[in-house]
Amino acid sequence: EGVSAVILGRPNVGKSSLLNCLLREERAIVTAIPGTTRDTIEECLDIQGVPVRIIDTAGIRETVEAVEEMGIRRARQKLGEADLVLLVLDGAEGLQAEDRALFAVAADKKVVVVVNKIDRAPDLDIGLYGEVFPGLPVVGISATTGQGIHALEEALYEAA
């Protein structure tokens, strides 16, 4: 029951770090190696009294490796079932073609745009993302320092 929210984004943007940050727990393995998350992880969050099932996914990308491909297939399935998508971007790297491709995959869902790693990009203008994704909530966060997490929870509450 409740709302289901899938965390979507390129490898290494900080999806698993975001899950851990929202859970206040080191639930998912975080490394600098792309492809670390190979399976989906589902946990329940309480956002101001609203139950939200949050799902960390293996990054959806082209791959030749069998186990990773199974993780990606599951991620696509979870995405299909989701009410809400947290599209995670790397604020330090800037927007890339793959980010837009993932957004296109999620376009029929409610999307919250999460600009992560703002600790590494202190001068970043989050408003620019509002122009790229008009009408969507955009929140700048750092999954490692916790900066912006309350604003994200607020955006999730409003979207859910």
Annotated binding site: 12-17, 31-37, 56-59
Q: Which is nearer to Mg ion, 31 or 48 (CB)?
A: 31
Q: Contact residues for ligand GDP (CB under 6 A)?
A: 9, 11-17, 30-32, 36-37, 59, 116-117, 119-120, 142-144
37 binds Mg ion (CB under 5 A): yes
Reduce the secondary structure of the chain to three states and give it as a string: CCEEEEEEECCCCCHHHHHHHHHCCCCCCCCCCCCCCCCCEEEEEEECCEEEEEEECCCCCCCCCHHHHHHHHHHHHHHHHCCEEEEEEECCCCCCHHHHHHHHHCCCCEEEEEEECHHHCCCCCCHHHHHHCCCCCEEECCCCCCCCHHHHHHHHHHHC
Minimum gap (Å) between residue 142 Cβ and ligand GDP: 4
Q: Which residue is nearest to ligand GDP (CB)?
A: 14
Nearer to ligand GDP, 4 or 36 (CB): 36
Q: Which does 32 bind (CB under 5 to 8 A by kind): ligand GDP, Mg ion, none?
A: ligand GDP
Query: Would you say 18 or 47 has its CB closer to ligand GDP?
Result: 18
Instruction: Please state, in angstroms and rounded to a whole number, the distance separating the CA atoms of residues 36 and 11.
Output: 8
Q: How far is the CB of 88 from Mg ion (least distance, A)?
A: 10
Distance CA 71, CA 68 (A): 5
Among 3, 6, 10, 16, binds Mg ion (CB under 5 A): 16
Which option in ligand GDP, Mg ion, none does residue 24 bind, with CB closer than 5 to 8 A by kind? Answer: none
Binding residues (CB under 5 A) for Mg ion: these are 15-16, 37
